[in-house]
Structure 1
């Protein structure tokens, strides 16, 4: 874990921890000097450890906001691959039981674009004596949007942004997932390029750790600078703040968004300085509305934003190909009986 990514895991703190002083490297374990909360960047589980008598740890995958994320084999269910993710950083058994009970609603979420939650388990760390909680999730193979974006480079090594039509397609899938959560009175809170994976032919949201009920005024709020809506710190998350994160993600994917975590943390650059904005004005207008500082001026729902983003996608493809891509009328078109697997089917003849 690089020192620059080490922060206190306490929700109301977040101070830098484990940093070098002079020539002495930063500690990987210790206590936050600001709030006194313990921290550890040493994996708690090792290959071969058995969690809950069922999940055999294969190794570490990554480090998240609440600790290490592990790949494991479910020995009780056909040796399927699963992911174990830390749920809460606490040694208090009563607090752990309450946290697990509170998060069980996540296991009821089923959607093609959302990672499946299988179980919530407790594990007693034999080395430290701490009781740790883990979310057991579906293992999703593939690359995150961050990895896909970072892999694109120009011949001189600079970042090559994603084609705007590809980013729009990702955004539409993400909005379908968010819309499903919103329909269940849930908020995702932390959509960003790190938290979505392209697997086979679909996008999946993979990190459910920040999901909360829309009427929850007590639990910790998780978000990411540069993606989180500006009002969240004062008024809390909402459907509008979820849609804001999608707009910010689309911006990060489609141009070299320098300063999006500081200078432009709550705004977009001048459209005259961004080529993709000059070329596709409708795309720029969509981002402006999605990231409006006033939540009331943003899209009213994920469905509305997805419909508008689909319209932008059709316009982009039309400009690139020189052929119109009209959508079927939902009021006067023929009755739909078979789902079309192509977003833009080949056109026959001229379009008037």
Structure 2
């Protein structure tokens, strides 16, 4: 049976005509609940047929070991802030007229005498101030242009709470959304307990803590992890159609949370005094200009979640300012991340969702913790790029080609003139090997024609047809500032054998997605092609230190280290890469070859005894047979020759390559080379009685060993 739902009715039964039998009225209409704001679904973006991926964007939190958090008093010290003007009334019970109010835009007097009855007042003290008959004010936590925040004791709940005064326009939003605000439940959002019409005020949970800042002992990754937690809170808030509109360090409370694992360093987003609905129209009225987009920015005309993300970017820049000037791993990526988050010249380039921001911020954390003292290296799928199975080892991962030995030319001293033992990957090979971009989870849904055009451009790059790839990219219609456009421009430049232009394009990609490793790998490859070995080593090292699973970075680092004369460092890179299962065999071969490789020029010394011993041990452990084993043995033996000048054993090693020659001509060439490297025959002569050069037996002496 249906019952009446009017609050002044006893719940009488509803008759057949829809009227209450007790109060003779229809039941009150239930307010239509507005449907919750839909969680933004990632757009399909501009992919090239690769499935969309959305890994956990908050993964950076799992890379940071939690600190205990700052010690804070349970109750903050008494503030010198005076009582807010809207709460200044004459202390005379018979008068109670407003006093201490400002006029003409100026502030009111905090102490003086009532103009009506002459009673003195002093609002620098809070004694006796009670709001809504239940909140006894104890402290002023802060005050600004839009009102004060008080620490008060709630008589009903017997606990401390915070009363936050609301601007008139914000108060309307808070009144309409009070149920939604009270129902907010998130570990990184302060609990909103209620709404008081007097003032009006929001009643919030009191979190004993300190505003977010960088202490002397705080690690960079700890501060960035707090940024990820705030992004989690904003993602939760934005999904419910609400904007905070005043994200800043003072509104991110850092506190110590007790847990079974011990004290944890945590943060909560506080102060919802500027909250508004996403669908609200009209300009903003309550925000902090220092942390907000500048006047005239599109976010001021119609605020979106981007307003909060911009403010968080400014907040992290403020908190991490002292760490941005150093050269520690990850700091350059962090600077690029914050530049994108707060870009005022190209607002469309900024982050559009908390998850997009968090994905890149987590990637920056991964780069930071890869260095000392954490040394945490994490291999995980990218949200924006597919896998890259081609290690681009440049010939290091296999034995020297047999053709090198066939074409070798020996000198008078037995040294061989041969092609370089390895090389940098060619521009076209790099363009074909770099992974395809995935469908950007946060990009707007692009037309099918755009996706098809990008797929055609990618295919043309792999076919080494840069002109066709360029035409297809132009047909895609991507904006010039978008990282996808820059990525394809870089691939096309490589296919056109223009690594300098490719580097310019890949730099734009790195600036847009600094948490990703693939753009930095591409920059390392371009720098190596251009002969910029220090730059290449820096890019390769940053990627390889973050995750050794990126084989192209490990092989690239080994190449440029060897070319710089650092044989030990080159071998160490290959040995480290060999720990990755996918690249184990090639990296172990590279370690053997790097130990004995001989290069032209004075930069690299001839392999020493330790190098030769290491190479021999590495070869024995590989378990190779056939042509590969024979090739490595010949290379090791040539290094021995340069160290010991043992021509006979070198000749034998090269002769051992002969059975693996694919043609008779090559077989003959190898045998000829082996014969030419054998020690020269020396004939011993003993003069006979007749003074001739014949021995008494009339025969030649045996050849002497060299």
What aligned pairs does 1:87-166 form with structure 2 within 5 A after superposition? 87-88=166-167, 98=172, 101-104=175-178, 105-123=180-198, 132-145=199-212, 148-149=213-214, 152=215, 163-166=219-222
Please state how far the C-alpha of 1:297 moved relative to its aligned partner.
Answer: 1.0
> Match for 1:225 among 289, 295, 301?
289
> Match for 1:213 among 270, 277, 293?
277
CA separation of 1:292/1:135 partners in 2, compared to 1, >3 Å: closer, same or farther? same
> Match for 2:337 among 273, 276, 286?
286
Q: Is the 8 A contact 1:162 1:253 kept in 2?
A: no
Partner-residue secondary structure (3-state), 1:31: coil
Please state how far the C-alpha of 1:207 moved relative to its aligned partner.
Answer: 0.9
Q: Is the 8 A contact 1:88 1:99 kept in 2?
A: no
| Equivalent residue number for residue 343 of structure 1 | none
> Match for 2:161 among 63, 78, 82?
82
For structure 2, list consecutive stretches of 5 or more residues without a partner in the other structure.
1-78, 87-99, 111-122, 257-263, 384-575, 581-706
**Farther off after superposition, 319-328 or 169-178:** 319-328
C-alpha separation between the residues in 2 aligned to 1:321 and 1:54? 52
| Equivalent residue number for residue 585 of structure 2 | none
C-alpha separation between the residues in 2 aligned to 1:75 and 1:284? 48
| Equivalent residue number for residue 232 of structure 2 | 176
Please state how far the C-alpha of 1:243 moved relative to its aligned partner.
Answer: 1.2
Q: TM-score scaled by structure 1? A: 0.66
C-alpha separation between the residues in 2 aligned to 1:277 and 1:224? 32
> Match for 1:203 among 259, 263, 267?
267
Query: How many aligned positions are there?
Result: 270
Q: Is the 8 A contact 1:96 1:133 kept in 2?
A: no
Please state how far the C-alpha of 1:161 moved relative to its aligned partner.
Answer: 9.7
Q: Is the 8 A contact 1:45 1:57 kept in 2?
A: no
Q: Per-residue displacement from partner, 1:55-77 (whole Å, max 9, x unpaired)?
A: 22223222233222211112212
C-alpha separation between the residues in 1 aligned to 2:239 and 2:109? 37
Partner-residue secondary structure (3-state), 2:162: strand
| Equivalent residue number for residue 262 of structure 1 | none
Structure 1 position 67 matched with structure 2 position 131: no
CA separation of 1:277/1:113 partners in 2, compared to 1, >3 Å: closer, same or farther? same
CA separation of 1:295/1:276 partners in 2, compared to 1, >3 Å: closer, same or farther? farther
Please state how far the C-alpha of 1:115 moved relative to its aligned partner.
Answer: 0.9
Q: TM-score scaled by structure 2? A: 0.34
Please state how far the C-alpha of 1:256 moved relative to its aligned partner.
Answer: 4.7
Structure with greater proportional strand content: 1
Q: Is the 8 A contact 1:174 1:205 kept in 2?
A: yes
| Equivalent residue number for residue 19 of structure 1 | none
CA separation of 1:295/1:99 partners in 2, compared to 1, >3 Å: closer, same or farther? closer
C-alpha separation between the residues in 2 aligned to 1:136 and 1:280? 39
Please state how far the C-alpha of 1:47 moved relative to its aligned partner.
Answer: 3.1
C-alpha separation between the residues in 2 aligned to 1:204 and 1:115? 6
Q: Per-residue displacement from partner, 1:70-119 (whole Å, max 9, x unpaired)?
A: 11112212x01111121247xxxxx9985662352422322111111111
Q: Is the 8 A contact 1:189 1:223 kept in 2?
A: yes
Partner-residue secondary structure (3-state), 2:102: strand
CA RMSD, 1 decimal: 3.6
Q: Is the 8 A contact 1:143 1:197 kept in 2?
A: yes
CA separation of 1:325/1:75 partners in 2, compared to 1, >3 Å: closer, same or farther? same
Structure with greater proportional helix content: 2
Partner-residue secondary structure (3-state), 2:200: strand
C-alpha separation between the residues in 2 aligned to 1:161 and 1:191? 24
CA separation of 1:96/1:73 partners in 2, compared to 1, >3 Å: closer, same or farther? same
| Equivalent residue number for residue 361 of structure 2 | 309
> Match for 1:252 among 318, 323, 328?
318
C-alpha separation between the residues in 2 aligned to 1:239 and 1:207? 17
C-alpha separation between the residues in 2 aligned to 1:235 and 1:96? 16
CA separation of 1:40/1:206 partners in 2, compared to 1, >3 Å: closer, same or farther? farther
